[in-house]
Amino acid sequence: STVVSSVLVGLLSNLPLPAGVGSGACTYFAYALTTRQSDYDLDQKLLRQKFGCTICFVSSLLMIILALSGMQWMVFRRIPNAVKDAMPVGLGLLLALSGFQMMNLVIEGDGMLKTGPWSFSLIMGGLGCVLTSFLHWKGYKTAVLIPLLICTIIAWIAGKGGLDLPLAVESPLPNFDSWIHMWSEFGHIYVDFSTFELARSIMPIISFYLISLFDVGGIVYAVASAAGVVQNKGTEKEFVPGAYGVFVAVGIGSLVAAIFGCSPVIALGDAFIGVTVGGRTGLTAIFTSFFYLLALPLCPIFTAVPQFASGPVLVLIGVELLSLTKYLDLEDPTLALPSFCTIALMPYLYSIDHAILAGLACYVMLKFLKWITCSPEHTQEEEKDKLIEDAQDESRGLTGETMITPH
């Protein structure tokens, strides 16, 4: 499903945006539809999984129909700039938090996140962050790959199967014996309309659609902003060329995913690292899909890469996207609060769609309070100032400006 989706995104949208199964929809799929702690019967579990996959299939059909009409992007583009421009920054912090957790700098304990103890993974991950940032500053295209390889080789040498040093984490060498077992359940069809009941399917379908709308739309806009391909940015005519194609591709990929037992597909936030090193067109997504396919026979090698080795990549993405705060209007508290909620709640809630909804809720309530308390003359003056500011921005050539430039 990841390969199909990424190829279609590249062909239909020409955006550097691979697609694959996402954590938001996957969490809802696993815990709200297919998992019950009281289910000990394997047949009952399989039945629930088929029900969940059928829901995903129907939701994907709805997504494709609405995407072909262009309605999904029309809805998303109506999101105010205070929220839209905050999405890339929030995504960067969310990815950076994931990277810090992979390095064991941030750990869970006592119902909260806290600083992890000194460890081999923390030291290696920290050094990997420094080296990645330095190589990126030097302009190396392999700024991400070199630290990852160094950390992985050191972990294999120091861990079990190597020198087995006391402080080293468990980093076993690649085991190709497990490769055959990966294919034991491949080819099973999980969509079964005999499990579909309309009455209890409406809310899950709507939930999947909304999760996909905000997840895909948020990442599309964030990646397009980072790549500098948003046209007429900040104006009424703002749009992302090919955005509708991403929604169509994601819908088709979600159909494939549902048939083979996976949750719906979304645009992948990993695309930021491709943009960072110069990706600007759909060829980035197509070549990414090729490497995903190539990774299948080499899966034991990639699964043996320790998490702390790839954590610095996510931290670097967070660093790059943090620079986009300069496009936020933080002087106006009625715009700053929606932006802040969108940014801060993505890592705190570990959710893209919930953070966007929180930012929208703040924006709507503040706009309502301004509307009932401000005089019509004051409102007209604000709108006039905004039009003058937009005209000045356009005259300076700020619209469509590239924010992350390739080296």
Summarize pLDDT for 329-373 with one digit per residue, the tens.
888 899 999 999 999 998 888 877 788 889 999 999 999 998 888
Q: What is the pLDDT of residues 143-201, one digit of tens each?
A: 888 999 998 888 888 776 666 666 656 677 777 776 666 666 666 777 777 777 777 77
CA angle, residues 63, 68, 70, in degrees to nearest 5: 95
Read off the pLDDT of residues 103-142 as tens digits, 9 standing for 90 and up. 888 888 777 778 888 888 888 899 999 999 999 888 888 8
Tell me the pTM: 0.72
∠ CA 121-127-128 to the nearest 5 degrees? 85
- The residues that bridge with 124 in the sheet, in sequence order, are none
Locate 178 and state its tokens.
Answer: 């497990």
Q: What pLDDT shows up at residue 363?
A: 93
Which two tokens mark 291? 């490497």
The pLDDT value given to residue 196:
75
Residue 199 structure tokens: 């009455």
Q: What is the pLDDT of residues 265-309, one digit of tens each?
A: 888 877 877 887 788 888 998 998 888 888 888 888 888 888 889
Query: What is the maximum alpha-carbon separation in the chain?
Result: 76
Rounded distance between C-alpha atoms, residue 58 and residue 258, angstroms: 9
Overall residue count recorded for the chain in this entry: 407
Higher pLDDT, 233 or 144: 144
Name the nearest CA neighbour of 366 among 321, 340, 343, 334: 334
User: Whose structure tokens read 């040093």?
Assistant: 165
Compute φ and ψ for 267, nearest 5 degrees: -70, 140
Instruction: Give backbone dihedrals phi and psi of 112, rounded to 5 degrees, phi first.
Output: -150, 170
Higher-confidence residue of 9 and 190: namely: 9
Asked if 195 contacts 53 with a C-beta cutoff of 8 angstroms, the reply is no
Phi, psi of 109 (to 5 degrees): -170, 135
E-strand spans in 56-133?
106-109, 112-115
**Token pair 């790549």 in the structure block, residue:** 227
Chain segment 37-91, per-residue pLDDT in tens: 444 454 566 667 777 788 888 888 888 888 888 777 777 778 888 888 888 888 8
- On whether the CB atoms of residues 362 and 353 are closer than 8 A, the answer is no
Nearest to 77 by CA among 322, 243, 249, 280: 243
SS3 assignment for 18-38: CEEECHHHHHHHHHHHHCCCC
DSSP of 282-322, one letter per residue? HHHHHHHHHHHHHTTTTHHHHHTS-HHHHHHHHHHHHHHHH
